[in-house]
Chains A and B, each alone.
Chain A
Amino acid sequence: MLIAEIFDRCRALVDDTDLSTVAAWKAAHPGAKAIGCFPVYVPTELVHAAGMLPVGLVGGGGHIEMDHADSLVQSFVCSISRSTLELGMTGRFRNLDGLLFPSICDVARNLSGMCSRNFPALWVDYIHLPQNRASAGVVDYYRSELARVQVGLDVLAGRTTTFDALAASIQAFNQQRAVLRDLHAFRRSFPWLLSTEELHLLTNAGSVLDVAEHTNLLQETLNLLSMRKGKPKDRIRVLLEGAFCEQPPLELMKAIEEAGCWIVEDDLLLGRRWLATDVTLNGDPLRALAESYVRQDTVSSVRHERPRRRADSLVERAREARVDGVLLCSAKFCEPALFDQVLLRNALEQAGIPHLALEFEEKMGVFETPRTQVETFVESILFA
């Protein structure tokens, strides 16, 4: 397959809010079920090990009109929560059998309750991710939470997940994470050969594909990228932070890069890279998953951290990626991102790292203002 064909395929998968790919998977796996997983991080290995398809819920993008959800949710709530509800209220969850929500913010918590009430045909669970990583009992607690969720999934699937099945699923996701790491490393070194828009499409295609198929697609792309040719333009290197849950429109990413930036590091679709290193299998796979979550160094606004740790982590990442500036790009009304913004801006200020704050929402259609903001930011660095 040509690389352009891969991106076209990914775009078609991402744009399909009717989840017809999921319907096709279910048709090919009679009796198997599909579970929608809300961002940011959900241990999808549990869903996969139960013989089900974990489906990433990434909102409605710019594709759907909010005709129903606005009657239930206030307009000052983030787009992804409203569009997720709209997808369900317009029958687009018909190919799903359940929904899993992680404890990332009040909105996600309330959304899980609203889905329980409004979509009674769906199994809905809310996973309590541990917030206090320093507690002595954190791994034990999280293992028990994972076991609880696994039981619920098993009841829905009508089977019992064995340790071997879970270990195999963990291996499958380890492989996916490894290729994603390679793709991000490639973009960091050669951003003119792999745009952030393209990387996002590739990653997001995994929302509706089986993990093995997605890993193969990523690997094939990586092989083709090594043969891609292109001339670098004179742009600044930036880190984009704040879009860990709701995703900015692809046109915004494109506008940012066209305005003179190479996005070489970001927290887009962070859940797929939350476990930054492989989950080490050593006996009990549930414990391995729990330990991995607790020990991982992924710092985000949706996990409790000491304020200094959150700020220092961003500065460290910016320095590691050798960026010229940071774009604090958060979704409108995203409380976790906006709560952290002052903290992060102060830290960047102190570290002498130029930064710019941008705001987005799923259905924004005009990108001239952010483009001009970014262009001005770029010029202030290039011609300082």
Chain B
Amino acid sequence: MYHVAGVDVGSGTTKVVIMGEGRRVLGVSELRSGADLEAAAVEGLEKACRVARVDHARIAYVAATGYGRYQVGFRDVQITEITCHARGAHYLFPGTRCVLDVGAQCTRAINVDFHGRVRKFRSNDKCAAGAGRFLERVAKALEVDLEQLGELSLRSKEPQPISSVCAVLAESEVINHVSQERKTEDILNGVHRSIVDRLAALLRQVGLESEVTLTGGVARNIGIVRLLEARLERQVNVSSDAPLAGALGAAVLALERMRKLGAEGTHLYVREGQA
């Protein structure tokens, strides 16, 4: 029996999933990535192993993904976030045909086949507007906890428009609304609407198909989820594990590799000190 790990080193948080042979999740961890990405990956793996009650030396294969994947020195393979989020979304909702991954810095729309394999994808431009980091800055400017953004925005009666696609200029617009004594929930709702506009446009570029699954940290924002559903005129799959989708996908792909390597008889990847 062996275990694998999926390590997603994102620009905001590092997520680790420990998975058993039967694709069962045994343990997860989530922590801030900080400036030392390798250290975050090591700490994340140790934490997830403790939760899973698995000796980390027993991890047979590590697949790394995310913006810091090349910093994971103990990885066996690195995989792009696009492939991992596609597989992760498919793992959470097997009927998924479109994935919208909204992370701290990147937003991606991915069209997948019945097996969760990537058919088409589009990423946002370099600008962080439409991604989690922008929401963090807005939360700071409005002195609201990040976790409360979604619920608060749902109370809006008079959403305030945010027209800029640039995160910095959009933040200026937010401050302008604050100076005009607009209600916080109305400003937030306007921010969410501007983000959802861009998400919907990105999704249409890869071909909108049912089912749509939202992954990444922003999936925790209920305000975004509701607005997105209204804009797409359909229900959107959201799991409480949505932020872990990249790490889940990496773990699923790690299992696939283990099975293939075993079948090919070329399993070279037993760690030092292991039988």
Q: Is the CB of A234 within 8 A of B269?
A: yes
A260 at the interface (CB under 8 A from B): yes
| Given A232-B269, A234-B257: A379 in contact with B79 (beta carbons within 8 A) | yes
Q: What residues on B are CB-neighbors of A233 within 8 Å?
A: 75-77
Contact among B70, B76, B271, B272 for A234, CB-based, below 8 A: B76
A284 at the interface (CB under 8 A from B): no
Q: Is the CB of A379 within 8 A of B269?
A: no
B134 at the interface (CB under 8 A from A): no
Q: Which residues of A contact B (CB under 8 A)?
A: 231-235, 258-260, 372, 375-376, 379, 382-383
A-B CB contact pairs (8 Å), 8 listed: A231-B272, A234-B77, A372-B80, A379-B83, A382-B257, A383-B117, A383-B253, A383-B257
Q: What residues on A are CB-neighbors of B268 within 8 Å?
A: 232
Closest to A231 in B: B272
Q: What residues on B are CB-neighbors of A259 within 8 Å?
A: 78
Assembly CA distance A231 to B75 (angstroms):
10
Most central of A234, A259, A260 by chain B CB within 10 Å: A234
Assembly CA distance A234 to B257 (angstroms):
9
| Given A231-B272, A232-B269: A376 in contact with B257 (beta carbons within 8 A) | no
Q: What residues on A are CB-neighbors of B75 within 8 Å?
A: 233
Q: Is the CB of B272 within 8 A of A383?
A: no
Q: What residues on A are CB-neighbors of B257 within 8 Å?
A: 234, 382-383
B158 at the interface (CB under 8 A from A): no
Pairs A-B, 3 closest by C-beta atoms: A234-B77, A234-B76, A232-B268
Closest to B261 in A: A234
Closest to B269 in A: A234
Q: Is the CB of A260 within 8 A of B78?
A: yes
Q: Is the CB of A258 within 8 A of B70?
A: yes
Assembly CA distance A235 to B268 (angstroms):
11
Q: Is the CB of B80 within 8 A of A260?
A: no
Most central of A233, A260, A372 by chain B CB within 10 Å: A233
Q: Is the CB of A383 within 8 A of B83?
A: yes
B151 at the interface (CB under 8 A from A): no
What's the nearest-Cβ distance from chain A to residue B229, in Å? 31
Closest to A236 in B: B77
Closest to B61 in A: A234
Complex interface residues of chain B between 181 and 205 (CB less than 8 A to chain A): none
B21 at the interface (CB under 8 A from A): no
19 extra interface residue pairs, beta carbon distance < 8 Å, beyond A234-B76, A375-B78, A383-B253: A231-B271, A231-B272, A232-B269, A233-B75, A233-B76, A233-B77, A234-B61, A234-B77, A234-B261, A258-B70, A259-B78, A260-B78, A372-B80, A375-B79, A376-B80, A379-B80, A382-B257, A383-B79, A383-B83
B256 at the interface (CB under 8 A from A): yes
Assembly CA distance A233 to B269 (angstroms):
7
Closest to B63 in A: A234
Q: What residues on A are CB-neighbors of B76 within 8 Å?
A: 233-234
Most central of A232, A375, A379 by chain B CB within 10 Å: A379
What's the nearest-Cβ distance from chain B to residue A197, in Å? 15
Assembly CA distance A259 to B75 (angstroms):
12
Closest to A375 in B: B80
Q: What residues on A are CB-neighbors of B256 within 8 Å?
A: 383
Q: Is the CB of B77 within 8 A of A260?
A: yes
Closest to B271 in A: A231
Q: What residues on A are CB-neighbors of B61 within 8 Å?
A: 234
Most central of B61, B117, B271 by chain A CB within 10 Å: B117
What's the nearest-Cβ distance from chain B to residue A176, in Å? 32
Assembly CA distance A372 to B121 (angstroms):
13
Assembly CA distance A98 to B79 (angstroms):
50
Contact among B77, B117, B271, B272 for A382, CB-based, below 8 A: B77
Assembly CA distance A233 to B79 (angstroms):
13
Closest to A258 in B: B70
What's the nearest-Cβ distance from chain B to residue A370, in Å? 14
Complex interface residues of chain B between 58 and 89 (CB less than 8 A to chain A): 61, 70, 75-80, 83
Q: What residues on A are CB-neighbors of B70 within 8 Å?
A: 258
Contact with A along B249-268 (1 / 0, CB 8 A): 00001001100010000001
Assembly CA distance A376 to B120 (angstroms):
12
Assembly CA distance A376 to B81 (angstroms):
11
Complex interface residues of chain B between 114 and 146 (CB less than 8 A to chain A): 117
Q: What residues on B are CB-neighbors of A258 within 8 Å?
A: 70
What's the nearest-Cβ distance from chain B to residue A110, in Å? 42
Q: What residues on B are CB-neighbors of A376 within 8 Å?
A: 80
What's the nearest-Cβ distance from chain A to residue B64, in Å? 10
Assembly CA distance A258 to B77 (angstroms):
9
Closest to B69 in A: A375
Assembly CA distance A376 to B119 (angstroms):
12
Assembly CA distance A383 to B65 (angstroms):
15
Assembly CA distance A185 to B89 (angstroms):
43
Q: Is the CB of A235 within 8 A of B80?
A: no
What's the nearest-Cβ distance from chain B to residue A56, in Å? 32
Assembly CA distance A375 to B253 (angstroms):
15
Closest to A232 in B: B268
Assembly CA distance A231 to B268 (angstroms):
9
Assembly CA distance A375 to B80 (angstroms):
7
Q: What residues on A are CB-neighbors of B272 within 8 Å?
A: 231
Most central of B80, B271, B272 by chain A CB within 10 Å: B80
What's the nearest-Cβ distance from chain A to residue B121, in Å? 10
Assembly CA distance A232 to B79 (angstroms):
16
Assembly CA distance A231 to B257 (angstroms):
17
Closest to B74 in A: A231
Assembly CA distance A258 to B76 (angstroms):
11
What's the nearest-Cβ distance from chain B to residue A381, in Å? 11
Assembly CA distance A235 to B78 (angstroms):
9
What's the nearest-Cβ distance from chain B to residue A324, in Å? 11
Q: What residues on B are CB-neighbors of A375 within 8 Å?
A: 78-80
What's the nearest-Cβ distance from chain A to residue B153, in Å? 35
Assembly CA distance A234 to B80 (angstroms):
15
Assembly CA distance A356 to B59 (angstroms):
33
